[in-house]
Amino acid sequence: MSGRKAQAARNDELILRAARAVFTADPGAPIAAVAERAGVGISALYRRYPSKEALLQKLCGDGLKLYIEITERALADDGDPWEAFAGYLRGIVDGDTSSLTIKLAGTFTPTEELGRDSARASELATEVHHRAVAAGVLRPDVTPADIALLFEQLASIKLGGEERTSELRHRYLALAMDALRVPPGHRELPSHPPTDEDLSARWRPAS
């Protein structure tokens, strides 16, 4: 089952994957970078999306849908309340949805559907939050908005490769969770801290 149709279908996925990777790494990246990363030409992109803005809207929408999906899954979790909440936090961090939504918003004019999904996502997140507070596992003086900003802070971490970045985000998520959880206490932090090499690399030009 090969042929141009199959190739095209494969490119659909290839392009979206590349776009996600490129724009989460750098929201201002040129569209040519996406094409290169996907291993296709520019026209393969423009055949699918009429403009860069359209592509960004698609990515942002997908990110929002992923966010909603993860949140709904957390709401369906009937196990230990803290574990449900913690799993939710880890899921959002893994999905890198903050990079796909906030970071891309503002770089284009939002559609009406985006607004609706965003509102829905916000509702669901609030529900998850309140459950955790009601169960007495989440400190009550933080709000869902606080958690949203926490996600953004974690998304701002970019160090080394994709793998290492993910490790570090989880490390600082774990640290934050120590401050979030009731009763207070320190749990072991995952992964290992940044090395001097990690940090000093950023002083060198041409990243």
Helix ranges, 77-161 (H): 81-95, 97-100, 112-134, 144-155
Q: Which residues of 153-166 are buried (b: 16+ CB within 10 A; e: fewer)?
A: ebbebbebeeebbb
Among the listed residues 13, 17, 41, 178, the single contact to DNA using CB under 7 A: 41
Q: Which CB atom, from 41 or from 140, has the smaller least distance to its own copies?
A: 140
Q: How far is the CB of 202 from its own copies (least distance, A)?
A: 6
Q: How far is the CB of 199 from its own copies (least distance, A)?
A: 6
Q: Tell me, what DSSP letter sits at residue 51?
A: S
153-156-162 Cα angle (round to 5): 130
Round to whole Å and give the CA distance between 71 and 76.
9
- Site residues (vs its own copies, CB under 8 A): 102, 105-106, 108-110, 114-115, 118, 122, 139, 141-143, 145-146, 148-150, 152-154, 156-157, 159, 168, 171-172, 175-180, 182, 184-186, 188-189, 193-196, 198-199, 202-205, 207
Options 33-41, 62-70, 87-95, 123-131: segment touching DNA (CB under 7 A): 33-41
Which residues are CB-neighbours of 199 under 8 A, at least 6 positions away? Answer: 159
Task: Using CB under 7 A, list all residues that contact DNA.
Answer: 2-5, 7-8, 11, 29-32, 35, 39-44, 46-47, 51-53
